[in-house]
Structure 1
């Protein structure tokens, strides 16, 4: 497979996963029963795993050292906030989840904005 095509596919999946995570806000900021909290936590972990794989590919195939460093920094920041969000969901504290989700969502938007131009390259 052509490297450019693979990179565009990764960026497309990153955008798709980001949209899925960003659409979870309503589910995360309401009081849920124990089973739903666990389901949402697992769903977040799965989406973060897919993002990790595609971001690793994007970073590895980026020829510009400065862009690689920028995307790596943004990705690390995002995954830090996702870990905090996972912990908050596990604690089932709606107020903490709201704050952690806001941080993760903001970080994810920055990350997608940095990665998006690579789809056109």
Structure 2
């Protein structure tokens, strides 16, 4: 049941991150702080949940492949967080696009390989 919750949160965070693009182009003082906090919160949930999901794989190949993609995503998230701190709209947009692309890769790799976790998802 815990693993199902992790997968559900990963999907929800991905959807929310994909919908944040409009929030990142507003150049209002308060919005930068809110977006920064929201990004840190989502990154924390995704880190914990992806770590739990990756640890449940039996195949080292799947673990390693997903770990590489997750690391690329978290690097992009860090870059996006730095861009938000700098309050530069053009830099934030570039970093957001990189982060969204990296997250799409993680989700694409995660979805088909969930079949391997089928027995673990039932627990």
TM-score under structure 1 length normalisation: 0.90
Mapped to 1, the partners of 2:57 and 2:25 lie a distance apart of 36
Q: Which runs of 5+ in 2 are unaligned?
A: 119-123
Q: Which runs of 5+ in 1 are unaligned?
A: none
Shift of 1:35: 1.8
SS state at 1:26 partner: helix
Shift of 1:118: 4.1
Shift of 1:117: 2.5
Bigger mean CA offset, 7-16 vs 82-91: 7-16
Q: Do structure 1's residue 46 and structure 2's residue 36 form an aligned pair?
A: no
Q: Do structure 1's residue 30 and structure 2's residue 23 form an aligned pair?
A: no
Match in the other structure for 2:121: none
Of the three residues 44, 50, 54, the one matched with 1:55 is: 50
Mapped to 2, the partners of 1:60 and 1:93 lie a distance apart of 37
2:10–2:50 CA contact under 8 A, matched in 1: yes
Mapped to 2, the partners of 1:55 and 1:48 lie a distance apart of 10
For this pair of structures, how many residues does the alignment match? Answer: 116
Bigger mean CA offset, 110-119 vs 51-60: 110-119
Mapped to 2, the partners of 1:62 and 1:10 lie a distance apart of 14
Cα root mean square deviation, aligned: 1.2
SS state at 2:26 partner: coil
Of the three residues 89, 96, 117, the one matched with 1:94 is: 89
Alignment of 1:99-110 (within 5 A): 99-110=94-105
